[in-house]
Chain A
């Protein structure tokens, strides 16, 4: 079977992207989160959270969120405010 990269996999999906993010980080609290505990950076199946080394900041690509909720469960602090996308927005599976 041909191999697909994660971006190629996400390209198969249909998303209705809202103007604002449904994933809100308290960046100050995140900066206090020890590097070894920043689970959001590896645990997301869609790799929504990326560390920008230059800006020393977490980039949140909420557009590709699969709404699984894993980041919320894994986050050790209350820094991550997780909401459902607005009604009608977000991912829509064709198979499921």
Chain B
């Protein structure tokens, strides 16, 4: 290995690889240290948001291992045995650039993307776990990887280690995150014939669907479930804040089993074969949980910097790629000046602030606290709402007047209207 690089990047996820690709194209001597094989450690729900990627590799979907482009979105409110859903289908998303939304499987996508950076000239070192930084006069000047010859120097380091931000903590930029700011995602890959998926989800060849389930998806606990369509598999999973798992004594495997057992979920999985089980955290602390982002010789990007939009959009990959790109552009400027101090690297933070990354995080800054302040919407309220609707549509010989006064009374006895409106108001901040 070279003894010295212009820049070392820790982690070959979307943020790190984007930085590597940009720097390598600029002709810089850049290395990526990845503890596994690119992609092998990574799981996500399923939709890659590709605005930045399409700029770097125009028409990438023609060669990248994408599964399907998302034209259908469905938001569903579950009670313990019923469902109310809002189903959207945008046929305009069936044309390039496909609304920049593609389902992907990370083990395949990350590997492809990393190969692109390698082709551009980046050195990808796999099986290399970075344990610490080289620090000189208070500045980060390289990495210490747990391997032979693992002490490698660079003018600066981009930390793209993802949600388990051990290095960012070592660098003093953040503390161990609080359970309230982290959500655990557990997912299963379930295979089905391609045609079955298309028939079941009303899709044509190549089209995809993203179904999100709220309300009683986790049997009454705060959290949600999802089904995303891949080519010949489904990504099926749940997300639950760690603070909720902790307080309620919940077992994640029970939650995903309960979700799949709901009749409105199970019908999509019928006849499927389980291929994989996985777990990964989502940094959902939002704007207020963003750590320090730079110090002399170091920048944090992607999940390690908490750059994820925790609202209904749940965008992470595009924020990761944008931050990787901004960090790379900052390195290019810093190199011209020959100065990698925190002051010069602070330009990275300005770029983030001027972009959708920080603007969106700021807009949704109330979301992390809102989610755990609306427990009724995951418990009694969906039960009462769906019982009301069920009563409304139940065929009987009672007069509609009679039915309605009964239903209204039953509803008011179960749910405080004041609390319901307050919770709906809070929830609207997550949805808008």
Per the bound structure, the CA–CA distance linking A72 and B267 in Å amounts to 36
Interface residue ranges of B163-187 to A (CB < 8 Å) = 163-164, 166, 176-179, 182, 184, 186
Asked if A25 CB lies within 8 Å of chain B CBs, one says no
Which range contains the number of A residues in contact with the other chain?
35 or more
20 new A-B contacts, CB < 8 A, other than A9-B188, A43-B242, A88-B36, are A1-B266, A4-B274, A13-B277, A42-B251, A43-B246, A44-B252, A45-B253, A46-B279, A47-B251, A66-B279, A67-B41, A67-B164, A69-B163, A70-B245, A73-B242, A74-B245, A87-B146, A92-B40, A95-B108, A95-B278
User: Per a CB cutoff under 8 Å, which of B176, B246, B278 touches A66?
Assistant: B278
Q: Which residues of A contact B44 (CB under 8 A)?
A: 96
Write the chain B residue with the least CB distance to A43.
Answer: B245
Q: Which residues of A contact B270 (CB under 8 A)?
A: 1
Least CB distance, B9 to chain A, in whole angstroms: 15
Q: Which residues of B contact A85 (CB under 8 A)?
A: 35, 129
Per the bound structure, the CA–CA distance linking A83 and B40 in Å amounts to 17
Asked if A86 CB lies within 8 Å of chain B CBs, one says yes
Q: B276 contacts A68, CB within 8 Å?
A: no
Interface residue ranges of B278-297 to A (CB < 8 Å) = 278-281
Interface size on B, residues (CB 8 A): 59
Asked if B106 CB lies within 8 Å of chain A CBs, one says yes
Asked if A53 CB lies within 8 Å of chain B CBs, one says no
Least CB distance, B386 to chain A, in whole angstroms: 24
Q: Which residues of A contact B271 (CB under 8 A)?
A: 1
Per the bound structure, the CA–CA distance linking A10 and B137 in Å amounts to 46
Write the chain B residue with the least CB distance to A10.
Answer: B277
Q: A68 contacts B280, CB within 8 Å?
A: yes
Least CB distance, B250 to chain A, in whole angstroms: 7
Write the chain A residue with the least CB distance to B274.
Answer: A4
Q: B242 contacts A12, CB within 8 Å?
A: no
Q: B277 contacts A12, CB within 8 Å?
A: yes
Grouping DSSP codes into helix (H, G, I), strand (E, B) and loop, the B interface class, with mixed when no group exceeds half, is mixed
8 A-B pairs, CB-CB below 8 angstroms?
A: A39-B246, A66-B280, A68-B281, A69-B164, A87-B36, A94-B107, A96-B39, A96-B105
User: Per a CB cutoff under 8 Å, which of B36, B166, B273, B279 touches A70?
Assistant: B279
Q: Which residues of A contact B105 (CB under 8 A)?
A: 95-96
Known: A1-B260, A67-B164, A84-B164. A95 touches B275 (CB 8 A): yes
Known: A70-B184, A84-B35. A96 touches B246 (CB 8 A): no
User: Per a CB cutoff under 8 Å, which of B36, B145, B189, B253 touches A95?
Assistant: B189
Least CB distance, B241 to chain A, in whole angstroms: 10
User: Per a CB cutoff under 8 Å, which of B106, B242, B252 touches A96?
Assistant: B106
Asked if A56 CB lies within 8 Å of chain B CBs, one says no
Encode contact with A along B247-268: 1 for CB under 8 Å, 0 otherwise: 0011111000100100000100
